[in-house]
Structure 1
């Protein structure tokens, strides 16, 4: 069974730069109406952590979900 992941975004820390949105290979993230990052398709996340690594504000955490 494939692992599932969840993305937590500290909205207060996110400045809406869009780096995470552009680097995500599965297009899991989008900028919301407040120009903040949001995980809109969390079930598609493959846990590559590229968004977490590229975030200059350390606002994103990727965690493995329990099945």
Structure 2
């Protein structure tokens, strides 16, 4: 399974919750804290991110950056005899 993670810029997040609804892994939730503008911002609450980027695509503030782990290489090493 591919693993990913997200970085959310809490300073510009307005807590619209579109990313929470778009996340198929239910990995995002609203923070109990508020940002400087007075909004509850979104944070990664469950480490189940697959890097699908749905959250970043629906974010109207472009506050989410998605990072994916590289896929393992399927190349096999050739043994020299």
- TM category (shorter chain) comes to 0.7 to 0.9
Query: Larger % of helix: which?
Result: 1
Structure 2: 5+ residue runs without aligned partners? 35-39, 73-81
1:57 aligns with 2:56: no
Structure 1: 5+ residue runs without aligned partners? none
Structural RMSD (CA): 1.5
- State the structure with bigger RCO (CA 8 A, min sep 6), 1 or 2: 1
Question: Number of matched residues?
Answer: 65
TM value normalised by structure 1:
0.86
Larger Rg: 1 or 2?
A: 2
Q: Paired residue for 1:38?
A: 43
